[in-house]
Structure 1
Amino acid sequence: METIRLTMAQALVKFLDNQYISFDGEEQKFIKGFFTIFGHGNVLGLGQALEQDKGDLIVHQGRNEQGMVHAAIGYAKQNHRKQIYACTSSVGPGAANMITGAATATANRIPVLLFPGDTYAARQPDPVLQQVEQFHDLTLTTNDAYKAVSKYWDRINRPEQIMFSMINAMRILTDPVETGAVTIALPQDVQGEAYDYPVSFFKKRVHRIERKIPTDAMIDDAVKVIKNKKKPFIICGGGVRYSEAANTLKEFAEKFDIPFGETQAGKSAITWEHRLNMGGIGTTGNLASNVLAKEADVIIGIGTRYTDFTTASKWLFQNPQVDFVNINVASFDAYKLDGIKVEADAKVALEILADRLEKEDYESAYTDEIDNIKDRWNNEVDRLFNIKYKEDFVPEVRGHLDDKIDEYKEVLESSLTQTRVLGMLDSLLDDSSIIVGASGSLPGDLQRVWRPKEQNTYHMEYGYSCMGYEVNAALGVKLAQPDREVYAMVGDGSYMMLHSELVTSIQEGAKINILLFDNMEFGCINNLQMGHGMGSFGTEMRHRNPKTGLLDDKLVKMDFAMNAASYGCKTYSVRTEEELINAVQDAKKQEVSTLIDIKVLPKTMTDGYESWWRVGNAEVAEKDSIMNATKELKDKINEARKY
C-alpha cells in the first residue's frame, strides 16, 4: 500500500480539497474553502497546513467566529446545499462562539463543517490557556457543548482517526435528510502529529445526492386521499428549493388548479405574480394563504418542516375534514400532523403523483375563490405599501405607542413608516437582487408583502431566527452569487447583535448592501409583550432614569451610518422618501459595501391576517389585560390540533 507522511492537519486539508458533489449528473467541488480566525488552538496546525498547500480551497479571514459560520450558512443555503465552506477557530472562547452558528445550521438543515481547536489530547500541559476544567470529567472541553447542536460530532485524539471521521462527516453533509452542522474537534497537539496515510484516502471522491423515489404504496395512499378532496392547498417548503423542484411544482399546481402558500424557506421558488401563488402562510402569513388554508380539505405539504409559524401553532387548518399529505425526504417530517407519508424527493414525487392524479381525471373544485382572495390581498399590499404618517395617523400594529409616537418622530427626525419603506424598496431594487433576513419584525413583513420577481431571490433564515445572521450571511450569499446585488434587511437590534463580516466584505471586495431599519427598539418583542397584556418593558432603547431606576428615560440615539463608514462602507442616512430613493440609486453605483441607515417609526409594520401564535402567557398576574390575554390564549389552544 502506497503511503504519504503528513500531519493530521495536512491530511485533512488534502482530503477536503478532493471532495465533489454530483446532482442530476452535474458534478462540482463540494468544499469551496475555509473561513478562519486563527488562535493558539489552530494556527500552528491547521493554519500551517493551509499555508503550505491549500490546493484549490479559498481561505477567508473572519472577524467573529459566529459571524463567519453565518456567512458559511448563507453560502450553502443560497447554493441549495450543493457547495459549502468549512470554518475553523481556536480553543476556548473562539470555539464557543461558533456554537450559535452550529445551532443555526442544524435548525435550518444547512450543511456546515466546523473545526474548533481543542485542548491537548496528551493533557500536557494541562490546563492549557482557555481550557475549561470540569473536576468530575477531565475529558470534557468547550467543544462537548456542540453535541446538542450538531448532526455529527467527533474528536480526533490520534492522527489516523481523521480518515474514518471525515468519511462519516461527508456522509452527513451530503445527506438531504441528516444534514446540518458537522463538528470535528481538533486537539492542537494532534493537528501537528504525523502519520503515514494511504494515498487512496486522498483520491477524488464524488458524493451523489440521490433523488429518493416514493414507493407505489405511498403514491396509492396519497392519491386515495387527494382524489376525493375538493379544496386542496399546497405548502411550498424549503425542500422544493433544495430539490430544485420549483418548475415541477408550478406545473403540478397548474394542471390540477391547486393554490399554494410559501414558507419562509420556500418563498421565491416561484415568483409572486403567478396566479396560484398565494404567498406567505401561517403566523407571519398573509390573508390569501391563510384564508384558503383554513378552508382546505387536504393540505399537501412539500418539503416543509411544519414549524409553528407555518401552521400557526397547529391552529390554522380549521376544516374538520382536513387531511395531510406530506411529501418529504425525511420520514421525521413526513410523519407530522398524522399525515399520509410520501418519503421521497419533492421533484420525483410530484412527477409521479401528477401522472396518477391525471389518470383519475382529478381537478380541484375551486371556482373564483383563488382569484378573488388574491385580488383582495394584492389590494391590501398596495395599501400597506402606501401608508404614510400624518398627524391623525394611528399605528397599524396594536396601537400601543400612540402616546409616544410624537417622541419617536422627534428623536428619529423621520416620519417614514416601515411598510411604506418596504413598498418603495420593492420598486427600487433590481428584480435580480437577493434579499437576506432572519429576525425581528422584518421577516413577518417580508413573508407577507415582499414580491420576488425572479426565482431564488428571497433568502430568509427562520428556522432559528438568529439575530446577527443577516449581515454576515449576506457575505456568504454574495460569494455564492457575485454577479447579483445582495441586500441584508436588518433591524437596529439585530445589527448591533452582530455584523462582524461586514468588515470581511470590505477586505474581500465582495460588495453587500445593508438596509438598516432603525426604530429605536426591539420592535417585534415589544409587539409581543404589549399584545399580550404587558407594558413596554425592557424592549425600547432608552437610558436609565436616575429617579425611577428603570430604563424609561430618553431614547438612545444611534448613528449607524457613521459606524459603518468607519469600516470603509459607503453610507447614507435616510429620513425622507427622497433620501431613500437617492440612497438606493447611488448605492447601486458603488463597488464597495454600503449601509443605508433608515429611520422608521415603530408600530408601523404588518400584523394579523387570520393568524395566531401560541406563546407562554402568565396564568397568574395583577394586570387584567394579561389575564384576558391568557384566557384568549387558552381558547385558541383548545381549537388547535393536538398532533
Structure 2
Amino acid sequence: MRLTVAQALVRFLANQYSERDGVEQRLVPGCFGIFGHGNVAGIAQALLETDALRYHLARNEQGMVHAAVGYAKTRNRLQAMACTASIGPGSTNMVTGAALATINRIPVLLLPSDFFATRVASPVLQELEDPRGFDVSVNDAFRPVSRFFDRITRPEQLPSALLGAMRVLTDPAETGAVTISLPQDVQAEAFDWPDELFDRRVWHVARPVPEPAALARAVEVLRGARRPLLVAGGGVVYSEAGQALLRFAEATGIPVADTHAGKGALAWDHPNSVGGVGATGTPVANALARDADVILGVGTRYSDFTTASRSAFQNPDVRFVNLNVTAFDAAKQSATMLVADARAGLDALTDELHNPATRAAESSDSRVGWSGDMGRWNAVVDRAYHLGHGPLPAQTEVIGALNEVLAPSDVIVQAAGSMPGDLQMLWRASDPKAYHVEYGYSCMGYEIAGALGVKMADPDREVFAVVGDGSYLMMAQEIVTAVSEGIKLNIVIVQNHGFASIGALSESVGSQRFGTAYRFRDPDTGRLDGERLPIDLAANAASLGAEVIRVGTIAEFRDALATSRASTRTTAIHIETDPLAPVPDSDSWWDVPVAQVSALDSTQQARKSYEQHKTTQRTYLNP
C-alpha cells in the first residue's frame, strides 16, 4: 500500500488496541495538534484524509500534552492520546509536558516535527545549527524526558519505531512520554508499505503476579510487624486495585495512608483510612509513620513529599516491603521487593495473611488510640472548612465548600501552589478518580488543560479545575479548546494576588516573601512592593468564552458551585482569598535548603530550624 509516512502512521495508530482483564479499547483514540510548517503537509494532511483518528485543535502545545496526561490518567493508562506540533518552538513547547508525563508514569505519544532529513534546504526556519554534528536537533531535548525516543529519517524505519512505541505505551512498568520525531520532508514522503502494518493489533496489558519466593519474604516481614503502615500510591488506582486494598485492610487491620496519586483508593471514612502521609499529610498518618516498624508501600515511588524528605519513618528498625510493578521503585528504601501488579500482589498478600493466627496488625501498638486520633483530626478539618475567616475567606474554606457541595463522583483537578498541600491534608475522597492532583512535576498551568483531558476521558463526571492566579496566568488557553469542542468544565479561580505557596515557603526559609506578590514597582524602594496590580482574571476567562460568576463570600461561592455544576457551559467562578489565612499543621517537614550565611535575622533563625530538621533524615539502609 503506497502512502506517505504520515498517512501510514495515522492508519497504524487507528488500528491499535489495548486489552486488560478481557476488555479491549482503542489505544490511541485521538490526536491533539497545532499545525505549522513541519507538520501541516504531513500529519495534518494525513488526518484530513481520514476520520479514524479524531483531531482536536489545541491552543498551546504544552497544554495539549497536559490534556493528554489528564486523559490517560483517567483511563488508568490503558489509552494514550497523540500530540503533534510544528518544527522548532511548537515542538519544544511539548518538552515540559513530556517531563510531566514521564515523571508521573503516564503514557502520551508525542509527534514533534523536525528538520529536513535530506538537509537539502538546511538550515530551515527554526532549525538548530549545532557545529558538533548535522544530526542534532532541538528535538534531542526530548531524549532525557521520554521513555522512548526515535527519529524517523527514512520511511523504512517507521514500522520498528511504531512497534517499539506501542510497547512502551502499554507497559505499566516502563510507560511515560513516547516521542517519535518526524522530519518534515520524511512525513510527506511516499513508500510502499506491507499491508500487515495496518492489521488490527491488540496490546495486552499484563498483571504480573508475585514470584513465590519474593511473596514468602514479604509475608515473613509483615507477619513480624508490630506497628505496620500501608502507603497506597498511584499504582493502586491505575491497576484498579481498590477492592483488593479494601480486602487487605479489613483482613489484616493495617492502617492505610495515601499519596496524592493514591488518594481515594480507600475511602476517607473507612476505619482503616488515616489520610495523606508525608510533608503535607495528616498528623495521624505521620504519627503512625514515625513509629512504624514495617512500611508496606503499594504502587508508590516514594517522592520526597511522601517520605517528608526521608524524615517520615523514624523507627530505628523500620523495614520496607514494596509492592510495585516497577522494579526500580520496588527496590527503594532497601526494601523487600515484591515486583507485581498492585491488585495481584495485594490479593496474594491477603490470602497469605488472612489466617487469624498470622494477622499482622491485630495486636499492633499503633492501633491503640487510632480511632480517637482520626476523630480529633476530622474535627480539625471541620473547623478549617468553616473557619469564618475575614474579611477575605481562607483557602481552606474554599476547599471545604468544594468538598461539601461536589458529588462524590465529581473530579477535582489541581497541580501547583499551596492548594495541593492543603488538598492532600484536608480533602475527603470517596472515589479513586475524584481526586486528580498532579504532584509529580507539580506543573503550574496543568489544571485547566488537565481538566479538559479528564472530561474527555470520562464525560459523565463533572470536572472542577481549581487554579490559583499564578497558575492561571501561566496557561488558561485551553478554555478556548473546551468551548470550541463543547466540553463543559467548571473552573474555580482562586485569586490571592501572587504566589501564596512560594510566599509561605519563602517566609519559612527566612526570605520574607520576597518577589512572590503581584505588585507595581515602588519608585521609592525600587522593588516590586507597591500597590496591587489591577488584574481581572474573571474578565480574561470571559474573553476566552467561559461563563463567569464573581463571588466574594463562601456562601456565594457555594451557590456559584451549584449553578456551575448545573450549567451545560464551561463556567469560571472567581473568588479572592487571604494568602495569610491559617492552615492546620501536618506535623511533618520538607527539605528546602536555607542560606548557610546571611545578614538577615529571619534567615539566620530559619537556618537554625533547618539544621535541627536535617538531623531527622534517614538513609533507610536496614536490610
- Scaled by the length of structure 1, the TM-score of the pair is 0.94
CA–CA distance in structure 2, aligned partners of residues 468 and 492 of structure 1: 10
Q: 2:426 matched to which residue of 1? A: 449
Of 111, 118, 124, 1:122 maps to 118
1:12 and 2:3 correspond = no
Q: 1:181 matched to which residue of 2? A: 177
Name the SS of the counterpart of 2:25 in structure 1: strand
Q: Residue 635 of structure 1: CA displacement?
A: 2.6
Matches within 5 A, 1:108-257: 108-257=104-253
Unaligned runs of 5+ in 2: none
Matches within 5 A, 1:138-537: 138-359=134-355, 361-364=358-361, 365-366=363-364, 367-390=367-390, 415-537=392-514
Is contact 2:68-2:450 (8 Å) kept?
yes
Is contact 1:14-1:54 (8 Å) kept?
no
Is contact 2:314-2:618 (8 Å) kept?
no
Q: Residue 132 of structure 1: CA displacement?
A: 1.7
CA–CA distance in structure 2, aligned partners of residues 617 and 578 of structure 1: 40
CA–CA distance in structure 2, aligned partners of residues 542 and 95 of structure 1: 33
Q: 1:402 matched to which residue of 2? A: none
Q: Which amino acid aligns with 2:5?
A: M
Cα deviation, 1:34-58, whole Å, max 9, x if unaligned, reads: 0010001101111111101242x21
Q: Residue 605 of structure 1: CA displacement?
A: 5.4
CA–CA distance in structure 1, aligned partners of residues 157 and 574 of structure 2: 50
CA–CA distance in structure 1, aligned partners of residues 586 and 537 of structure 2: 33
Is contact 1:17-1:54 (8 Å) kept?
no
Is contact 1:520-1:557 (8 Å) kept?
no
Q: Residue 174 of structure 1: CA displacement?
A: 0.6
Q: Residue 589 of structure 1: CA displacement?
A: 2.4
CA–CA distance in structure 1, aligned partners of residues 369 and 130 of structure 2: 63
Name the SS of the counterpart of 2:29 in structure 1: strand
Matches within 5 A, 1:68-79: 68-79=64-75
Is contact 1:67-1:501 (8 Å) kept?
yes
Q: 1:399 matched to which residue of 2? A: none
Cα deviation, 1:337-391, whole Å, max 9, x if unaligned, reads: 111110111111111111212245324124442201111110110111111225x
Q: 1:410 matched to which residue of 2? A: none
Question: 133-142 or 79-88, which moves further after superposition?
Answer: 133-142
Of 575, 598, 606, 1:629 maps to 606
Is contact 2:495-2:575 (8 Å) kept?
yes
Cα deviation, 1:31-80, whole Å, max 9, x if unaligned, reads: 0110010001101111111101242x211000000001100000000111
Is contact 2:425-2:586 (8 Å) kept?
no
Name the SS of the counterpart of 1:31 in structure 2: coil
Question: 602-611 or 151-160, which moves further after superposition?
Answer: 602-611
Is contact 1:445-1:605 (8 Å) kept?
no
Name the SS of the counterpart of 2:125 in structure 1: coil
RMSD: 1.2
Number of residue-to-residue matches in the alignment: 616
Q: Residue 548 of structure 1: CA displacement?
A: 1.6
Of 581, 603, 614, 2:591 maps to 614
CA–CA distance in structure 2, aligned partners of residues 504 and 31 of structure 1: 20
CA–CA distance in structure 2, aligned partners of residues 83 and 527 of structure 1: 38
Q: 2:57 matched to which residue of 1? A: 61
Cα deviation, 1:571-606, whole Å, max 9, x if unaligned, reads: 011111232122112112221101101100112252
CA–CA distance in structure 1, aligned partners of residues 402 and 114 of structure 2: 46
Name the SS of the counterpart of 1:261 in structure 2: strand
CA–CA distance in structure 2, aligned partners of residues 53 and 273 of structure 1: 49
CA–CA distance in structure 1, aligned partners of residues 323 and 338 of structure 2: 5
Quick one: percent identity of the two aligned structures? 48
CA–CA distance in structure 1, aligned partners of residues 212 and 147 of structure 2: 31
Q: Which amino acid aligns with 2:542?
A: A
CA–CA distance in structure 2, aligned partners of residues 25 and 321 of structure 1: 43
Is contact 2:87-2:126 (8 Å) kept?
yes
Following TM superposition, the consecutive aligned residue runs of length 4 or more in structure 1 with deviations greater than 4 angstroms are: none
Cα deviation, 1:112-134, whole Å, max 9, x if unaligned, reads: 00000111001111111111211
CA–CA distance in structure 2, aligned partners of residues 462 and 471 of structure 1: 15
CA–CA distance in structure 2, aligned partners of residues 130 and 65 of structure 1: 16
Q: Residue 280 of structure 1: CA displacement?
A: 1.0
Q: 2:563 matched to which residue of 1? A: 586
Q: Residue 608 of structure 1: CA displacement?
A: 2.8
Cα deviation, 1:280-329, whole Å, max 9, x if unaligned, reads: 11101111211111111110000000000000001011112211100001
Q: 1:83 matched to which residue of 2? A: 79
Question: 225-234 or 631-640, which moves further after superposition?
Answer: 631-640
Is contact 1:263-1:280 (8 Å) kept?
yes
- Scaled by the length of structure 2, the TM-score of the pair is 0.97
Name the SS of the counterpart of 1:552 in structure 2: coil
CA–CA distance in structure 2, aligned partners of residues 100 and 294 of structure 1: 35
Q: Residue 455 of structure 1: CA displacement?
A: 3.5
Q: Which amino acid aligns with 1:604?
A: A
Q: Residue 618 of structure 1: CA displacement?
A: 1.0
Is contact 1:444-1:606 (8 Å) kept?
no
CA–CA distance in structure 1, aligned partners of residues 284 and 30 of structure 2: 43
Q: Residue 21 of structure 1: CA displacement?
A: 0.5
Q: Residue 607 of structure 1: CA displacement?
A: 4.9
CA–CA distance in structure 2, aligned partners of residues 229 and 172 of structure 1: 37
Is contact 1:517-1:599 (8 Å) kept?
yes
Question: 275-284 or 106-115, which moves further after superposition?
Answer: 275-284
